[in-house]
Amino acid sequence: MEKIFIIIPTYNEKENLKKLLPQIFDLKIENLSILIVDDNSPDGTGQLVEELKINNSNLDILHRQQKSGLGRAYVAGFKEALSRGADYIFEMDADLSHDPKYLAAFLEAIKGADLVLGSRYIKGGGVSNWNLLRRLISRFGNIYARTVLWLPLHDLTGGFKCYRRQVLEKMGLDELSSVGYNFQIETTYKAHKLGFKIVETPIIFTERAEGESKFSPKIMLESFWRVLLLRFKK
Ligand SMILES: Nc1nc2c(ncn2[C@@H]2O[C@H](COP(=O)(O)OP(=O)(O)O)[C@@H](O)[C@H]2O)c(=O)[nH]1
Ligand SMILES: [Mg+2]
């Protein structure tokens, strides 16, 4: 029976986690552990999880001292999951953008793949509440990354993914260059270059209603040149 880990990085997500965690527990997925990676959120996210842990043996948390970016948080979570014997490792956001109802489809798809991407840009996928500009930026960003990196995939920037452990073992987690937004592109690109089988499963993404997104024009521009760097490195 495969061991499943869901890694959820958090920074000020107390209210969202209060809703998300029960939704995941209610699915009663066998052999599932949830690992929160919290960067010492000022809103007390870490404290909330400590309290919930008492009655949920499949919930745990890594406390990190300071906010050091999504990529670093994921790498810490991946390593922890690997050391605890995880077979399938999920990435998932805490902000209710990623509906747990899709977990079942990921688990079905990973049986025949090494990496499953939750995809907004294939049949059945979509975004429910972005304005036109935000949609265009995301669409263009994905077409750009797909073209520059020569990847036969439609959603490279999403953060709802499931890895087979071998992918993370071979990826060189300590050599990943992205700390922020590009982390998703870089991990998928590396998996592809290592020859792993990557499939997409459709998801409808819902923008967060509570808390703050880290998306900004600065992050977006940085992402563009970083994709070029990825392509021409090594
Ligand atoms: N641990 C940790 N989590 C983070 C950090 N930045 C963002 N997150 C979490 O990563 C997830 C995605 O972040 P979000 O700001 O919603 O990104 P967006 O959906 O791409 O706009 C959420 O669960 C955040 O709480 C960070 O520096 N450290
Ligand atoms: Mg978000």
Q: What is the pLDDT of residues 22-64, one digit of tens each?
A: 999 999 999 999 999 999 999 999 999 999 999 999 999 999 9
CB 21 within 8 A of CB 34: yes
Residue 210: the pLDDT is 82
pLDDT digits (tens, 9 = 90+) for 134-165: 999 999 999 999 999 999 999 999 999 999 99
pLDDT digits (tens, 9 = 90+) for 86-127: 999 999 999 999 999 999 999 999 999 999 999 999 999 999
Is the pLDDT higher at 219 or at 173? 173
pLDDT interval class at 220 (50, 70, 90): confident
Q: Which ligand is nearest to the CA of 17?
A: 1
Residue 214: the pLDDT is 74
Query: String of b and e for 45-82 (b: at least 16 CB within 10 Å)?
Result: bbebbbebeeeeebbbbbebeeeebbbbbbbbbbebbb
Q: How far is the CA of 180 from the centre of ligand 1 (A)?
A: 9
Residue 234: the pLDDT is 60
pTM of the model: 0.96
Q: How far is the CA of 170 from the centre of ligand 2 (A)?
A: 28
Q: Tell which atom from ligand 1 comes closest to the C-alpha of 207.
A: 19
The token pair that represents 170 in the structure block: 């071979």
pLDDT interval class at 219 (50, 70, 90): confident
Q: How far apart are the C-alpha atoms of 54 and 96, rounded to whole Å?
A: 23
Ligand 1 pocket (Cβ < 6 Å) reads: 9-11, 13, 37-39, 67, 69-70, 73, 93-95, 97, 208, 213-215
Q: How far is the CA of 16 from the centre of ligand 1 (A)?
A: 12
- Counting ligand 1 atoms within 8 A of each CB, the residue from 98, 184, 214 with the most, and so the one to mutate, is 214
Is the pLDDT higher at 200 or at 215? 200
pLDDT interval class at 78 (50, 70, 90): very high
What value, to the nearest 5°, has the Cα angle with vertex 34 and ends 68 and 114?
85
